[in-house]
Homo-oligomer: A and B are copies of this chain.
């Protein structure tokens, strides 16, 4: 089983309007409610690929109950007293997002969650920790979860950003997927438009305790610096669609590959194909299985000379 963690889940509301004009009133033509959160996307993609996944995290209040009703993956969430946040995305062709801040989680609620998470680790092979931290959690919350996974012998992927990522690096996550900002911060002098620059920044992150650093290059694929060397994976052609959720599909594919002990080239091939298949999916946070199957054989994976 692959365990996904969503500490700051959301009730995602998508509003369709004709055209968003600031400082005017808009009649919303359709409202779609969805269970939102990066870890839920990861679990959805895994389920779509026939993999057994369980989603855990925190839910609270009326919005939390609504998210629980809307869940489309096996789940074991812990309850908090605060109100799960809403996210409102207004779509008029392009998307404008409004992120509520999320619940204030108490120390007792966090301890109870860690207990639940630790119990779930006993039956997990891989853990995926995704997204932002709700208020009230210590900045090193992910360090606690990474350490617990390592102690349980469960490989752990951490897909977050900012201080939450920074504070968890020394706990030694098996894989992180920093964005361009984080790469730039860790290696200010590197030219991230070049493969060498990305590898230099990834090496700096690995020195801080991380196993593998995965750097997305958007439609140009991935660069990975792993304990077994550096790789570049490039899709056969560009896929048009909505890039939201492509990173979650990428992470899901890696977790699945680890679960099946697939070596790096195959894992990265699947990660690139899954990202592209997420872009091609009409639903953000989901994956088009046929696109995944058709693309994965065309992904070119090359070993890079380490610098």
Q: Could you tell me which A residues sit within 8 Å of B by CB distance?
A: 13, 15, 17, 20-29, 31, 62, 65-66, 86, 88, 90, 92, 94-101
Q: How far is the CA of A97 from the CA of B23 in the complex (A)?
A: 7
Which B residues are CB-close (under 8 A) to A98?
Answer: 15, 17, 25-26, 28, 88, 90
Which B residues are CB-close (under 8 A) to A22?
Answer: 20, 22, 92, 94, 96
Which B residues are CB-close (under 8 A) to A15?
Answer: 88, 98, 100
Q: Establish whether residues A23 and B88, one from each chain, have CB atoms under 8 Å apart when the complex forms.
A: no
Which B residues are CB-close (under 8 A) to A101?
Answer: 27-29, 31
Q: How far is the CB of A101 from chain B (nearest CB, A)?
A: 6
Q: How far is the CA of A88 from the CA of B23 in the complex (A)?
A: 12
> Which chain B residue shows the least CB distance to A90?
B98
Q: Establish whether residues B100 and A26, one from each chain, have CB atoms under 8 Å apart when the complex forms.
A: no
Q: How far is the CB of A105 from chain B (nearest CB, A)?
A: 17
Q: List 16 A-B contacts (CB under 8 A).
A: A13-B86, A15-B88, A20-B96, A22-B96, A23-B94, A23-B95, A24-B96, A24-B97, A26-B98, A27-B99, A28-B100, A31-B101, A62-B65, A62-B66, A88-B88, A90-B98
Which B residues are CB-close (under 8 A) to A24?
Answer: 96-97
Q: How far is the CB of A295 from chain B (nearest CB, A)?
A: 28
Which B residues are CB-close (under 8 A) to A20?
Answer: 22-23, 96
Q: Establish whether residues B62 and A25, one from each chain, have CB atoms under 8 Å apart when the complex forms.
A: no
Q: How far is the CA of A16 from the CA of B31 in the complex (A)?
A: 21
Q: Establish whether residues A96 and B23, one from each chain, have CB atoms under 8 Å apart when the complex forms.
A: yes
Q: How far is the CA of A88 from the CA of B14 in the complex (A)?
A: 12
Q: How far is the CB of A267 from chain B (nearest CB, A)?
A: 30
Q: How far is the CB of A31 from chain B (nearest CB, A)?
A: 5
Q: How far is the CA of A28 from the CA of B98 in the complex (A)?
A: 6
Q: Establish whether residues A100 and B62, one from each chain, have CB atoms under 8 Å apart when the complex forms.
A: no
Which B residues are CB-close (under 8 A) to A27?
Answer: 99, 101
Q: Establish whether residues B31 and A99, one from each chain, have CB atoms under 8 Å apart when the complex forms.
A: no
> Which chain B residue shows the least CB distance to A89?
B25
Q: Establish whether residues B29 and A99, one from each chain, have CB atoms under 8 Å apart when the complex forms.
A: no
Other-chain contact of A97, B13, B25, B62, B65 (Cβ < 8 Å): B25
Which B residues are CB-close (under 8 A) to A17?
Answer: 98
Which B residues are CB-close (under 8 A) to A62?
Answer: 62, 65-66
Q: How far is the CA of A17 from the CA of B21 in the complex (A)?
A: 16
